[in-house]
C-alpha cells in the first residue's frame, strides 16, 4: 500500500472546521467502510457539518479512508507509529486527535476486515490412513496401497465448518502405466 500523499494531509486540515471532537470521531468512523469515498450522502452531510464544498468533503473522506486503511495494512498500533506519518507542519492538536481516534477504532476495523475477507478454507482437523487389500481376484490389485484422508475445513473466516469426508487417494503403479499416476476418488467411487 502506498504512503499517504501530501494532498491527503492537506484535506485532513478541513477537520479543523469540525464543530466538536465527536464530529471528527464520527466522520473517521463513517469514512472507513469500502464504499465511503463514493458515498454522496456522506459527502453532502460532511460538507454541511464542516461548511466546506462537496468536493472538499469528498477529498477529506477519501483522505480519512486512505489513512485508516494504511494504518490497518501496516499494523500501526502505537501512537508514535501513526504520528510519524504526518508531516512536521501538520496541526499538532489535530494530529494527536486523529491518532487517538484511529487507535480507538483500529481493533473494531481490524475485526470487521478479517470477518469480511475472502480467503481459502482453513484446515481444522485431518486424519489419514493407508489401506492395503488383503484379498482380491487379481494379485495386481492387492499390491496397490490406498490412502484415505479425512479433512475438516473452515470456510469464510470461521463462519461455516465443513464436516469431514473420507477422500480416497490411490497410487497406481504398474508396467502398463509407465510412471506412477494418482487418482482421487470420493466415497462410493471406484478408484
Q: Are residues 74 and 24 in the same domain?
A: yes
Residue at 58 is within a domain: yes
Q: Report how far residue 79's alpha carbon sits from residue 84's, in angstroms, rounded to the nearest whole number.
A: 9
Q: Are residues 86 and 39 in the same domain?
A: yes
Q: Are residues 32 and 55 in the same domain?
A: yes
Question: Domain ends where: 93, 116, 139?
Answer: 116
Q: Are the C-beta atoms of residues 98 and 25 closer than 8 Å to each other?
A: no
Query: DSSP character for 146?
Result: E
Query: DSSP character for 78?
Result: S
Domain range spanning residue 19?
6-116
pTM for the model: 0.61
Question: Domain ends where: 67, 85, 116?
Answer: 116
pLDDT tens column, 7-66: 889 999 999 999 999 999 999 999 999 889 999 999 999 999 999 999 999 999 999 999
Q: Are residues 135 and 82 in the same domain?
A: no
Among 8, 13, 125, 139, which Cα is nearest to 66's? 8
Distances (CA, A) of 92 to 66, 82, 124: 20, 13, 48
Q: Are residues 42 and 25 in the same domain?
A: yes
Residue at 191 is within a domain: no
Report the DSSP pairing between strands 165-172 and 122-132.
unpaired
Amino acid at each position: 500500500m502506498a504512503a499517504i500523499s501530501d494532498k491527503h494531509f492537506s484535506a485532513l486540515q478541513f477537520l479543523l472546521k469540525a464543530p466538536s471532537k465527536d464530529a471528527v470521531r464520527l466522520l473517521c468512523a463513517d469514512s472507513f467502510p469500502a464504499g465511503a469515498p463514493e458515498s454522496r450522502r456522506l459527502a453532502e452531510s460532511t460538507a454541511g457539518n464542516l461548511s466546506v464544498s462537496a468536493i472538499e468533503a469528498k477529498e477529506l473522506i477519501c483522505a480519512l479512508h486512505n489513512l485508516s486503511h494504511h494504518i490497518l495494512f501496516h499494523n500501526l498500533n502505537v501512537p508514535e507509529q501513526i504520528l510519524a506519518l504526518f508531516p512536521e507542519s501538520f496541526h499538532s492538536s489535530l494530529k494527536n486527535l486523529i491518532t487517538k481516534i484511529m487507535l480507538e477504532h483500529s481493533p473494531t476495523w481490524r475485526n470487521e476486515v478479517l470477518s469480511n475477507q475472502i480467503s481459502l478454507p482453513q484446515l481444522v482437523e485431518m486424519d489419514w490412513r493407508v489401506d492395503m487389500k488383503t484379498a482380491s481376484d487379481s494379485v495386481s490389485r492387492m499390491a496397490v496401497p490406498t490412502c484415505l484422508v479425512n479433512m475438516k475445513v473452515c470456510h469464510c473466516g470461521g463462519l461455516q465448518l465443513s464436516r469431514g469426508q473420507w477422500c480416497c487417494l490411490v497410487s497406481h503403479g504398474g508396467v502398463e502405466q509407465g510412471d506412477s499416476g494418482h487418482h482421487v476418488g470420493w466415497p462410493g467411487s471406484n478408484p
